[in-house]
């Protein structure tokens, strides 16, 4: 089996290597600048950051501290508020379970939404089994919650609201600042899974009144297996009950030897994202709109799922009536796309996110997620559009449901 082609670079927009990678909401390629920063820590600089008796450990600890500052800067936090984890799933678990346990005497009510990532939803289901009461807010056809629904759901036993900043399937950005202000008014902690949003849109934990926030390196061109949880230290101070015991690392919230190479890469990825976010967002928005217009002008019975106004610049989720998404993926074997979340893509049932928007199963099954990223080019957009138009037209000729859809 031949090795996958390297992604084309933005500096060579006419370059076209197959297969094309367009699933950047699932994971992103490692930025070469991130790899360069990591390499010494994978080879000669191998110290344990918790080793305080020699230079190898001191050097590793200094590198971790620098990365902590880089991550904190991206979200407007203090470096002391960054807890390194193995990824966003662990961060979500630590935030929800840790707050629920630490404040169990104050209340047992947690509020989330039906379109959250499974890392939050499954954690909430687990907390329900241990005595927590969970409210799952609906979303409208654009994928947005109604803040008034949230206001009505908060009661005297509510301790936590957890609403993701941007959805991993449809890219819809929730009104995070408004949610944060409401939570602050009602003296309720606010956690946000910001995995898809970080590095793509501006985030400021203080301006947005966020008390805990989950991050993952591999969604912003960093390495897999490393993430972080922001935990507010003052106004208000957030207590987190540790979920992994042993050694008291990371302010006692998350024990375990730190992944120094991964953390260094995470920090570098955050610094690059902070510097290039504005220009990259504009370029991705232009490419996304080009793809959308190409598809809509050539095909009928095509719809964008979720709000286009409140949306990540690199995300496009579209339905093609009369054609199953899985059949489209098989016909587009030289373009890496998905029909939904990478964490649930093996499931045969239609996306729970799309169904929450009010879409019927048939339309939900006909959906594709395009995840555009840093290394995608205009040539790749045009190639993907041409191939997809061809495949959709061919499949529709064989589809008994297409005429019915029309």
Q: 379 and 156 in contact (C-beta within 8 Å)?
A: no
HSE-up of residue 82 (Cα within 13 Å, Cβ side): 27
The DSSP annotation for 206-231 comes to: TTTT-SEEEEEGGGTTS-SS-EEEEE
Per residue, the 3-state secondary structure of 355-402, as one string, reads HHCCCCHHHHHCEEEEECCCCCCHHHHHHHHHHHHHHHHHHHHCCHHH
Strands ordered across the beta sheet of 315-320: 302-304, 315-320, 367-371
Q: Residue 155 gets which letter from DSSP?
A: -
Q: Which residues contact 29 (CB under 8 A, 6 or more apart)?
A: 7, 21, 221, 373, 374, 375
Residue with tokens 């939904």: 340
Q: Is the peptide bond before 176 cis (omega within 30 degrees of 0)?
A: no
Q: Which of 405, 396, 397 is nearest to 363 (CA)?
A: 405
Q: 325 and 339 in contact (C-beta within 8 Å)?
A: yes
Q: Which residues contact 321 (CB under 8 A, 6 or more apart)?
A: 301, 302, 303, 362, 363, 366, 401, 402, 405, 406
> What torsion do the CA atoms of 159, 116, 311, 293 make, to the nearest 10 degrees?
-170
Establish whether 124 is a catalytic residue: no
Which long-range contacts does 12-20 make (Cβ < 8 Å, 24+ apart)?
Answer: 12/377, 13/377, 13/378, 13/379, 14/377, 14/379, 15/377, 15/379, 16/377, 16/379, 16/380, 16/383, 18/334, 19/333, 19/334, 19/335, 19/336, 20/334, 20/335, 20/336, 20/376, 20/380, 20/383, 20/384
Name the strand (E) or helix (H) holding 246: none
Question: Which of the residues are catalytic?
Answer: 343
């Amino acid at each position: 089996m031949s090795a996958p082609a390297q992604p084309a670079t933005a500096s060579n927009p006419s370059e076209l290597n197959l297969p094309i990678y367009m699933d950047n909401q699932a994971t992103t390629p490692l930025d070469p600048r991130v790899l360069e920063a990591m390499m010494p820590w994978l080879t000669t600089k191998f110290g344990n950051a918790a080793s305080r008796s020699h230079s190898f450990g001191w050097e590793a600890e200094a590198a971790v501290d620098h990365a902590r500052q880089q991550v904190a800067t991206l979200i407007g936090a203090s470096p002391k508020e960054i807890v390194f984890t193995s990824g966003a799933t662990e961060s979500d678990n630590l935030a929800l379970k840790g707050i629920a346990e630490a404040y169990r005497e104050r209340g047992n009510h947690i509020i989330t939404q039906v379109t959250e990532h499974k890392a939050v939803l499954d954690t909430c289901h687990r907390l329900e089994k241990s005595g927590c009461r969970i409210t799952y807010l609906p979303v409208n056809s654009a994928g947005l919650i109604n803040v008034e629904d949230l206001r009505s759901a908060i009661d005297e036993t509510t301790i936590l609201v957890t609403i993701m900043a941007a959805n991993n399937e449809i890219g819809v950005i929730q009104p995070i600042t408004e949610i944060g202000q409401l939570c602050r008014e009602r003296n309720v902690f606010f956690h946000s899974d910001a995995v898809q949003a970080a590095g793509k849109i501006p985030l400021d934990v203080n301006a947005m009144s966020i008390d805990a926030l989950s991050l993952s390196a591999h969604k912003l061109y960093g390495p897999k297996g490393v993430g972080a949880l922001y935990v507010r230290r003052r106004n208000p101070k957030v207590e987190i009950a540790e979920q992994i015991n042993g050694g008291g690392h990371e302010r006692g919230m998350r024990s375990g030897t730190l992944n120094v190479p991964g953390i260094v890469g995470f920090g570098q990825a955050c610094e690059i994202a902070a510097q290039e976010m504005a220009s990259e967002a504009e370029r991705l928005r232009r490419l996304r709109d080009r793809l959308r217009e190409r598809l809509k002008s050539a095909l009928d019975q095509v719809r964008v799922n979720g709000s286009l106004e409140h949306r990540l610049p690199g995300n496009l989720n579209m339905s093609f009536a009369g054609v199953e998404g899985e059949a489209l993926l098989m016909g587009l074997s030289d373009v890496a796309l998905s029909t939904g979340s990478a964490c649930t893509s093996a499931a045969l049932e239609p996306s729970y996110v799309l169904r929450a928007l009010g879409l019927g199963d048939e339309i939900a099954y006909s959906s594709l997620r395009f995840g555009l990223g840093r290394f995608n080019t205009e040539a790749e957009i045009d190639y993907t559009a041409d191939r997809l138009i061809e495949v959709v037209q061919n499949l529709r000729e064989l589809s008994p449901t297409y005429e019915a859809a029309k």
